[in-house]
Structures are given as C-alpha cells and as structure tokens.
Chains A and B, each alone.
Chain A
Amino acid sequence: MDQKAIIEFKEVSFSYPGSRPLFKALTFEFKSNAFYLIKGPSGAGKSSLLRLLNRLEEPSSGEIFFNHLPLSSYHPPELRRRILYIQQTPTVIDGSVRDNLLLPFDFKNNNDLTRPDDDHLLTRLKDFRLTNVSLEHNAQNLSVGQLQRVCFIRGILLFPEIILLDEPTSALDKESRKIVESSAERLCCESGSTVIMVSHNTFVPKKVTPIVLDITDGRIMEI
C-alpha cells in the first residue's frame, strides 16, 4: 500500500465563532489510499474535522495541505470536487434519481467531466444494490438507506481523491446500515480513493484494514 501523506495538518486550531476551541495546534497527517475510521464523543469535532478538510470551514490558525499544497491554493469548487464530503443526512433536490445523479454536471466547474449516460448510471445503481430503483424514481420517495447510496454514487461520479463520510449510517436500521457500510468499503477498494469515515457504531470493515482514529479534547490519536 502506498503510504505517502495526502493530507497534512500543521498547527491547526479551530473554533466556531463564540464557542470554545475544538482543536488547538493540531498536527497530523492522513495517508493516501487508506480507510480511516474516526471515533470520539459527540461534540468532539468529528464533523468539523471533515468540514475543515473540504473547506466548508476555515481554521482559525495553522494550515492544511492537500498533496503538499495549502488548501487555500485550490479554487474551492475544484477542491471540494476532489475532496468530496457526503453529509450525514442524505440531501437531494426535488426531482428524479437521474436528476440528482446528474446535478453536479450542471455546475460550471464540472464542465470538464463527461456526463455519464443512463447505462453507466444503471450499472452504478446495481453496484450499490439499488436494482429496484429506476432512474425515473422520485428521489424524495426513497428510503434513507437508499438515498444515502444514491448520494455515494453522485459523489463517485466526480472521481474524488478523498471521500469524507459523516456518520452515513446514523439514521439507518441494521440491515441498511450493513449495505451502506459495505458500500463505503467499496468506495475505498474500487475507486482507490482515500476514505475518511466518521462512525459512532462498532463497524469493522471486512475488505480493508482501517486506521482507527479517536478525537477527544481536541486531539487526534491513532488507536
């Protein structure tokens, strides 16, 4: 496994306006092609860590590097496409599954990507065990577990280098949780992306050996 660093935190501090600091002078690195599992008590800053990585939030001091260049040197829409953040609650627009999967291709910044055809989309749906979902299906009528997988597919159509998953299984029953978890593993194994997943549950990946990190009191520790 290639072990070069893809993300480096140098002395990163962060706090929300008017709140106590979440991270103080955090120095840490994430290796490429790895599967990270992030644990820690709620409110410890697990989501904030992911949001810092795709620049939905800005460190109060210090710098984060992606491929050895500071995050601020990338055009934000371009950066977010390469470091893709998938929200905790799957969010879709009003429209069909196809409309949702193709949504990113309407954005100016994604002009250079080829819009996938229906065959491609159907193969993806099958890969993620969504065979009973058609492209015409209204996305709002899908179950949360199905939606979460639609959001995964929408993400990997952009070929991200890093995928950030924010507790993707928190709202799911046991069965859909298993499907989503194995889908998360697929993201790492098949697309060769680095996956950083926040998870409360006792999830043990089967195909990859995860690096488990614990965030407590503003520190990141490898377990």
Chain B
Amino acid sequence: MEPEIVNIGFGQLAAGLLFILIAGAASVFHALKLERDLLIGTVRTFAQLFMLGYVLKFIFNLDNVWLVLLIFLFMTFFAAWTIYSRVEEKQISFFFPVLFSMTISFFLVSFMVTAVVVGVKPWWKPQYFIPLGGMVIGNSMNAIAIALERLLGDLRTNRKEIEMKLCLGADYKEASQETVRDAVKAGMIPSINSMMAVGMVFIPGMMTGQILAGADPVLAIKYQIVIMVMLVGSTAIGTLLAISLVRRLCFSPSHQLLLRPKNK
C-alpha cells in the first residue's frame, strides 16, 4: 500500500507561525521578555530543520560509511558543546571528558541497535543510523547535562561533608560516593519516567511520525520500544562514564577537593 502523506505547502507552514505570534503577544502582554528568544528560536527552527532536510537527502544519496560517521561525530560534538555552554562551570574544563564519554556510549548503543536489534545491512545505512543515532544523542545529552549540573553543584554544597570524610581517611571516591550516586540518578530518572508513561500519557514523537507517514502502528510500536530501551541504555552508559571522568577532575591526585565555592 502506498502511504498517503498529506503534503504541507509553504502557505500552510506560514500559518503555523500564528501560534508563535500568539506566544509573542502573551510575552509582550505579561512582560516576559521572551520575544527576542522566540524570534531567534523560530528562525533557527526553520533554518536548521530545512538545512537538515537537504543534508539528509544528500547523505542518503551518497551512501558513504565515512560520511555517516563524520555526521555522527559532528552531532556528538555539537551535543557536547551544548552541554558545555549550558552547565555554567568556570573551574573545571569538562568538555573533552564529556565528548569522549558521549562518543563511546552513543556509538556503542547506536551500533547495537542498527546492527543487532534492527539488523540493517550494512549497519551504517544512513536512513537508519543517522536518525536513530540522533535520537540517542539528543536524549542522552539532556541526561548528561542534568547529571553534570547536579554533580558540580552538589560537590560544592556538600564540601564540608566530603572534606570530613577525606579527613577521616576516605579516598576521593569514597568521599564523593553519595554525590555521584545522586547525580547519576538525577540524570537517569527522566528517561526511566518516560518508560513508565509512554503510551499511557503520550504518544512518542517518532511513533507519531511513522504513523503519520502511513506505517503500521504495530511496527511503529516495535521501533518505539527499541528506541526507549536504547535511550535508557545510552543514558546510563553515557552518564556513568561522563560523571566518573568529571569527578576525577574535581579532585587532585592527592585527593583534595579542587572545586571552590563560586564566590571565592
């Protein structure tokens, strides 16, 4: 059966802007000062997604493994950069450890899904690897950012307790064990929660897309299950790896807590 997808014309796309205008009006009316961000956000959404559309078309046509990997690395780099600018931290430069953990964990999970679970041949087939990889990167990026913010914040707030333990003969791992546990938990809870609510509270975006594109809902569901499991996996591996590498940076080799209170 040929799926019947209703095309969206440019005029209709422009009509969608009406919602942004409503949001803008609300912003002006309530002095939220969000107009600028709304405008930039809208322009970026249009520009970035159109660009993505053409880039994907190009990549799908070329069908080259190196290009696929390059795109994947670029996405990971951009995600790590987003985290780096979102987490306000002057003292510890965590960009490379985070990039490293993201590259390792995301590649591992994306590879497992395309090669083993979905069984695409070749495993890097761009139609599969890039969208699936993109979902892994996008979701785990938030988890890692949340976990990092929590880790760096808590190491500062719990300074006294951590130093108390160091003073009693704990090594840096023992002294920061609870802080690390809380940070990893904070990063993972959203993806676990969405496993609880999926299908009951919301229909996930990818599934919606597939159904709109005319796919059989049961097939769409199978893909969605793979995605959910994959997201939990990549979130867990990525968060654990990133947190343990960044924690190492927060302590000196002689087990001193290097993070200073922000006002000092």
Contacts and interface: CB of A to CB of B under 8 A. Distances in A.
Nearest to A103: B168
Contacts of A87: 160, 163-164, 167
B174 interface: yes
A75 B86 CA distance: 37
Contact of B167 (A58, A72, A84): A84
Interface stretch (A6-14, A106-114, A120-128, A130-138): A106-114
A57 B168 contact: no
B174 A58 contact: no
Contact of B168 (A16, A56, A81): A81
A89 B167 CA distance: 14
Interface residues of A, number: 30
Interface string B252-264: 1011110010001
Contacts of B252: 58
A58 B251 CA distance: 13
Nearest to B163: A56
B63 interface: no
Nearest to B173: A108
A173 B180 CA distance: 37
A31 B246 CA distance: 40
A46 interface: no
Contacts of B182: none
B171 A56 contact: no
Interface in B137-173: 160-161, 163-171
B170 A76 contact: no
A118 B193 CA distance: 44
Contact of A109 (B161, B163, B171, B260): B171
12 contacts: A54-B167, A56-B163, A56-B167, A76-B256, A77-B255, A80-B166, A80-B168, A84-B168, A104-B169, A104-B170, A107-B169, A158-B168
